[in-house]
Chains A and B, each alone.
Chain A
Amino acid sequence: MNIEYLFIVIAIMSAATFATRLPPFVLFSGRGQHPLLQFIAKYTPPMVMTILVVYMLKSVDYLSAEGFYAAIALIVTIGTHLWRRNALLSIVAGTVTFMALVQGWF
């Protein structure tokens, strides 16, 4: 346990993290209307969202019961969302389903 070391590590990691979030705003400030940047702005979100879903699902162990639970919770999430299109409701429904299955509430 070395408090000084911890302080420096926290400072470095804070700076390094901020350094990954800041550059676009500095490099392209005022040039947001450029057609290529608008193209990127429009199509990054659907691609990132697809990739994030794949990323979240890749850590699931599909040979165990967890894979089955995740599939059911996913169906509940999607089904609820197509039914009511209420983001919060869909997320809560899916999460509660997954928690109930994993923790064995039944």
Chain B
Amino acid sequence: MIRAALKTTLPIFFGYLPLGIAFGLLFQELGYPWYFATLMGICIYAGAAQFMAVGLLAAGAGFVEIAIATFFLNSRHIFYGLALLNSFGDWGLRKLYLIFGLTDEVYSLMSTIEVPEGADKPQFYFLMTIFSQSYWILGCTLGAWAGTKLVFNTQGMEFAATALFTVLLIEQWIKVRKPLPFIIALIASAIALLLFAQHMLLFAISLSLIIMMLLRVTNQKVRDEY
């Protein structure tokens, strides 16, 4: 099962390693010891928020501002939990860790792939989450510790995240086979890009969910088909 979980999360490895290194490189310019980048990868574990943290730390931002900015930057995660309510059972502390580790990438995998035949679901999810976080911590640490001494050129490796989401989008299409959610999401993305480019993700996800639910309430055809 460890092998299966490693194989499933390998795309996340290719995405997190260069992104983590990029964060570590930025972070070490602040002058803090490298292991604080590791600590941030362990405790915060959110890509965009950690990048934002570098700017906030450099500016010496206030605690309230930091709390609010972090919450809003990550608030799209609320929708991820909604989609996984039935996927997570009462698994105690393990479940708490799964919730803690629910990043864009991990959510995307969990909501799309099937747990391999014969595998224990909570254990498989747990391994997926802990492996993914390990890749992130490794990247953060490498970037901050090795800094500019890195020999391997990771430029362009960040495309792995785009490729992962593209593949999972195809898989979602094969699974759902109805155009409406995809069309709504495209329209919502376009509106979000035009109006709120800075908070595009949160705005587009909220908007598409609202449209989808409104259609279900008001349109008989949508109610029957979806």
Interface set, chain A 24-57, CB cutoff 8 A to B: 24-25, 28, 31-33, 36-57
Q: How far is the CA of A28 from the CA of B81 in the complex (A)?
A: 10
Considering the complex, give the chain B residue whose CB is closest to the CB of A102.
B156
Q: How far is the CA of A103 from the CA of B208 in the complex (A)?
A: 37
Is the CB of A65 closer than 8 A to any CB of chain B? no
Is the CB of B26 closer than 8 A to any CB of chain A? no
Q: Is the interface of B mostly helix, strand, loop or mixed?
A: helix
Q: Using a Cβ cutoff of 8 Å, how many contacts connect chains A and B? A: 254
List, in ascending order, chain A residues with CB within 8 A of B99's CB.
Answer: 18, 21-22, 25
B189 touches A50 (CB 8 A): yes
B44 touches A13 (CB 8 A): yes
Q: How far is the CA of A5 from the CA of B216 in the complex (A)?
A: 49
B66 touches A45 (CB 8 A): no
A77 touches B163 (CB 8 A): yes
Interface centre among A11, A31, A52, A57 (most CB of B within 10 A): A52
Interface set, chain B 59-74, CB cutoff 8 A to A: 60, 63, 66-68, 70-71, 74
If A8-B63, A77-B166, A98-B159 touch, whether A20 touches B83 (CB-CB below 8 Å) is no
Is the CB of A63 closer than 8 A to any CB of chain B? no
Q: Out of A17, A49, A102, which one reaches B46, CB within 8 Å?
A: A17
Report the interface size class on chain A: 35 or more
Q: Out of A42, A43, A54, A94, which one reaches B189, CB within 8 Å?
A: A54
A78 touches B153 (CB 8 A): no
Taking the closest CB of chain B, its distance from the CB of A80, in whole angstroms, is 9
A98 touches B156 (CB 8 A): yes
Interface centre among A8, A37, A77 (most CB of B within 10 A): A77
List, in ascending order, chain B residues with CB within 8 A of A11's CB.
Answer: 43
Interface set, chain B 160-208, CB cutoff 8 A to A: 160-173, 175-176, 181-182, 184-186, 188-189, 192-193, 197, 200-201, 204-205, 208
Interface set, chain B 108-137, CB cutoff 8 A to A: 108, 111-113
Q: Out of B45, B80, B156, which one reaches A17, CB within 8 Å?
A: B45
List, in ascending order, chain B residues with CB within 8 A of A52's CB.
Answer: 104, 108, 165, 169, 201
List, in ascending order, chain A residues with CB within 8 A of B44's CB.
Answer: 10, 13-14, 17
Q: Out of A5, A9, A10, A51, which one reaches B188, CB within 8 Å?
A: A51
List, in ascending order, chain A residues with CB within 8 A of B188's CB.
Answer: 47, 51
Q: How far is the CA of A99 from the CA of B70 in the complex (A)?
A: 31
Q: A residues bordering B, Cβ < 8 Å?
A: 1, 3, 5-6, 8-25, 28, 31-33, 36-58, 70, 73-74, 77-78, 81-82, 87-88, 90-92, 94-95, 98-103
Apart from A45-B172, A53-B169: 11 A-B pairs, beta carbons within 8 A = A3-B32, A8-B63, A16-B66, A33-B86, A41-B84, A43-B181, A48-B79, A48-B108, A48-B185, A88-B11, A91-B160
Question: Which 3 pairs from chain A and chain B are nearest by CB?
Answer: A24-B81, A50-B185, A102-B156
